[in-house]
């Protein structure tokens, strides 16, 4: 690192990282100096673990906040709280959405016990926790998320395709033009699962070839669920043309005083 030093730091989310400081003043680095110290490629990209990435986000965001005259150390505290809050709200949202999915799948498959919100939530928490506790290669327990990370890109884009499909369906029911959404929808429904299938079955580096059966099974399940959703949409498409949702009842209002 040359003239830069690093001190051990822990943010509000519990991730430890090393913060670059100026050895003369002891203050955290700013601007180009912070960039050069943080992204020193001479260390090799393998050195940028989770702690380094979280630290880069906290320190970089804090540098932005100093533009409105907030002290850098206070700005770093604000960013650390933001990271912890983001992790907590993401966990809450993911658990809630998974519970909805489990309930809907259970209702379709007529598995009555799992239609109960408490049972569905318990299953969501237990399965998510069990998957998180799996050890990634070369890592300790609790690093299962690192195993699933390669799925993020394709699944993220696939959700965009399903969102476009919902928008197309919404306009179709109301007899509105849909031509400007059809091509983007098709692209987003075809390309992500195609890319995921290539990653699954590629002869050289595919998950099947590498015997990574966790990624292989989850990726296959995601593709099957997508096909299921698309088929259901096509089956109801013709019947839904021009059929709108039932209007909500009017809100009750208190009579105005004389």
Task: Round to whole Å and give the CA distance between 144 and 128.
Answer: 10
Assess whether pLDDT exceeds 60 at residue 85: yes
**Which runs of E-coded beta strand occur in the chain?**
5-10, 16-21
**Chosen domain end from 31, 49, 83:** 83
pLDDT tens track for 138-165: 777 777 777 887 888 888 899 899 999 9
* Same domain, yes or no: 152 and 75: no
pLDDT, average across residues 31-58: 70
CB atoms within 10 A of CB 240: 13
Domain presence at residue 162: yes
Domain hosting 180: range is 144-244
* Same domain, yes or no: 148 and 238: yes
User: What per-residue confidence (pLDDT) applies to 122?
Assistant: 95
Domain presence at residue 252: no
**Chosen domain end from 45, 67, 83:** 83
Domain presence at residue 100: no
Lowest-pLDDT choice from 18-22, 229-233, 242-246: 18-22
Assess whether pLDDT exceeds 60 at residue 19: no
User: What per-residue confidence (pLDDT) applies to 7?
Assistant: 42
Assess whether pLDDT exceeds 70 at residue 38: no
Q: Say if CB 219 and CB 196 are below 8 A apart.
A: yes
pLDDT, average across residues 171-197: 92
Domain presence at residue 250: no
Q: Which of 24-28, 32-36, 148-152 has the highest mean pLDDT?
A: 148-152
Lowest-pLDDT choice from 37-46, 96-105, 143-152: 37-46
Domain presence at residue 40: yes
Identify which of 239, 237, 240 has the alpha carbon closest to the alpha carbon of residue 185. Answer: 237
User: What per-residue confidence (pLDDT) applies to 114?
Assistant: 93
Q: Say if CB 95 and CB 126 are below 8 A apart.
A: no
Lowest-pLDDT choice from 27-36, 86-95, 202-211, 242-251: 27-36
pLDDT tens track for 66-80: 889 888 889 889 999
- Count of the separate structural domains present in the chain: 2
Domain presence at residue 134: no
- Whole-Å CA distances, 214 to 68, 148, 158: 46, 8, 19
Assess whether pLDDT exceeds 90 at residue 111: yes
Q: Say if CB 131 and CB 148 are below 8 A apart.
A: yes
Residue 99 exposure: Cα atoms within 13 Å on the Cβ side: 15
Comparing 216 with 17, which gets the higher pLDDT? 216
Domain presence at residue 130: no
Domain presence at residue 157: yes
**Chosen domain end from 83, 98, 122:** 83
Does the predicted TM-score (pTM) go above 0.75? no
Q: How wide is the angle at C-alpha 11 spanned by C-alphas 7 and 17, nearest 5°? A: 40
């Amino acid at each position: 690192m040359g003239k830069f030093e690093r001190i051990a730091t822990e943010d509000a989310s519990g991730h430890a990282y090393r913060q670059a400081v100026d050895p003369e003043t002891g203050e955290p680095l700013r601007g180009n100096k912070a960039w050069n110290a943080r992204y020193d490629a001479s260390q090799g990209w393998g050195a940028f673990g989770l702690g380094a990435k979280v630290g880069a986000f906290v320190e970089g965001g804090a540098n932005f906040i100093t533009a409105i005259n907030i002290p850098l150390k206070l700005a770093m505290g604000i960013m650390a709280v933001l990271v912890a809050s983001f992790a907590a709200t993401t966990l809450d949202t993911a658990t809630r959405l998974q519970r909805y999915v489990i309930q809907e799948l259970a209702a379709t498959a007529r598995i009555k016990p799992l239609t109960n919100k408490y049972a569905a939530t318990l299953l969501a928490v237990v399965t998510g926790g069990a998957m998180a506790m799996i050890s990634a290669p070369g890592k300790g327990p609790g690093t299962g998320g690192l195993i699933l990370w390669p799925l993020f890109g394709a699944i993220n884009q696939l959700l965009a395709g399903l969102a476009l499909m919902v928008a197309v369906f919404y306009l179709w029911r109301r007899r509105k033009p849909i031509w400007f959404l059809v091509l983007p929808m098709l692209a987003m429904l075809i390309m992500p699962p195609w890319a995921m299938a290539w990653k699954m079955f590629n002869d050289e580096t595919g998950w099947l070839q590498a015997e990574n059966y966790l990624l292989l099974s989850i990726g296959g399940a995601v593709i099957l669920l997508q096909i299921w959703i698309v088929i259901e949409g096509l089956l109801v498409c013709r019947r839904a043309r021009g059929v709108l949702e039932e209007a909500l009842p009017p809100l009750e209002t208190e009579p105005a005083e004389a």
